[in-house]
Homo-oligomer: A and B are copies of this chain.
Amino acid sequence: MNPCEIAVLTTGSELLNGDLSDTNTAAIARILNRHGYRIRYSLSVADNEQDIGTALNYLCRQVQVVIVTGGLGSTGDDRTARAAAKLLGRPLAINDEALQMIRDYYSRCGRSPEAITERQALLPQKAIPLPNTRGTAPGFWVQQQQRNLFFMPGVPHEMLAMLEQAVLPILRRTVPGGLPAVQRHYRLFGLSEPKVEQLIPYRELPDGVEVAFGIDYPCVLLKLRSSGDAAEQRLDETELLLRQVMGEYIVGREGETLAGQVGRQLTDHGLTLALAESCTGGLIASLLTSWPGASAFLERAAVTYADSAKLDWLKIAPEILHRYGAVSEPCALAMARGVRQAADTDLALAVTGIAGPDGGSRDKPVGTVFLALAAEDTEQVRRYQFSGDRNQVQVMSAHMALEWLRRYLIGRQESVRTIPAGTNN
């Protein structure tokens, strides 16, 4: 039995009836991995004394450390302490230290606990209570027959605070962790997941580097992991190899989004931006302004759904709408020019298209989108045909527009026309 291997038991009927997916296990894993522990089993059962007992018993036979979340509240549904008491042969009793924690929590909130809340101090005998800084129910730690059992609340933010503040220090003292895993995350835009996988030079990668994938539509997330002394060096080597084959598609690292990167680039370059959005309905502006500091570069954005808005704010010539329609190359270009002139910015981006589900025609089916970029040194416009539902077309259009900006800002001279079109994965 490897002492660094841990089992997680999550309890709650909402985890088994389709209401909720268990996210506690992954959150616990991310924190424990950094300290050299590894989750080997993750089990979910309902708030049912018998099932919790059976599960605890099973897990204690597999590993030396079991972390339990959920079922510590004061309602009738909370049966974890009772199941633990039974399994351990240590009857429940009011734990004075736990009771004080509950009273302290209430006094910090300026209230007094009700009798029912104080039931949360009923712990198995000789359990060590763990303070809950974010809620009322204390956790607890039990040692028995070389097993360490930690019980925490199920509410994620309460659980995570208790894990970091109370469980991890005890765990590191009691069961030293192994070599921590180091991770690196990359966000790619413009390649599908199978395509990314195909490009990875698996045979050339250093030994001991794990590669994993995720999707944050329309981006692919690439995750590298390695552990041990030379982990950083192995990841450096791997990153170098990856940059050679897919470097231009990497639009963010360690959680940075494409919009975040574009915002940072604009700020670094000291350039200003205006937007004219039709089918994306404000999504590009919203993505850019979700990052602090957007006021440094974003002058304004127009969501011009009606033609009158295009005529009025963007000064589109009525002939353009009349002759080519609002979803057209000339209109997209005129929108970009118009908003750039109105806002007097360095750059302007415009999007017009048919997000669906209605409004498509034979010539311009749903998913037809025109992007335009206007700057002092260039004016560009291009037609795309995206697939997917309304939301996917909007999200893809917004990301493609941001990718135009990113590539323009990298190259300045380089044409955005070099972006491949087949990126709608």
Binding site for B on A (CB under 8 A): 13-23, 25-30, 33, 38-46, 51, 54-55, 58, 62, 181, 210, 212, 214, 223, 225, 275, 277, 280-286, 288-290, 292, 294-295, 298-306, 308-309, 312-313, 342-344, 356-359, 390-391, 394
A300 engages B300 (CB within 8 Å): no
Q: Which residues of chain B have C-beta atoms less than 8 A from A225's C-beta? A: 17
B286 engages A282 (CB within 8 Å): yes
B38 engages A16 (CB within 8 Å): yes
Please give me the residue from chain B that is nearest to A41 by CB atom.
Answer: B45
Checking B290, B302, B359 against A390 with a beta-carbon cut-off of 8 angstroms, the contacting residue is B290
Q: Is the interface of A mostly helix, strand, loop or mixed?
A: mixed
A273 CA / B277 CA spacing, docked (Å) = 17
Checking B14, B43, B312 against A342 with a beta-carbon cut-off of 8 angstroms, the contacting residue is B312
A300 engages B298 (CB within 8 Å): no
B15 engages A19 (CB within 8 Å): no
A397 to chain B, nearest CB (A): 12
Q: Which residues of chain B have C-beta atoms less than 8 A from A280's C-beta? A: 286, 289
A299 CA / B308 CA spacing, docked (Å) = 8
- Excluding A298-B303, A300-B304, A301-B302, 20 further A-B contacts by CB distance (< 8 Å) are A16-B29, A16-B42, A17-B38, A19-B223, A22-B42, A40-B46, A54-B62, A281-B286, A281-B290, A282-B303, A283-B289, A286-B286, A290-B390, A292-B357, A292-B390, A295-B359, A299-B306, A300-B308, A302-B313, A313-B342
B214 engages A19 (CB within 8 Å): yes
A309 CA / B295 CA spacing, docked (Å) = 12
Given A15-B42, A62-B54, A282-B284, does the pair A305, B300 have CB atoms closer than 8 Å? yes
B303 engages A300 (CB within 8 Å): yes
Please give me the residue from chain B that is nearest to A273 by CB atom.
Answer: B305
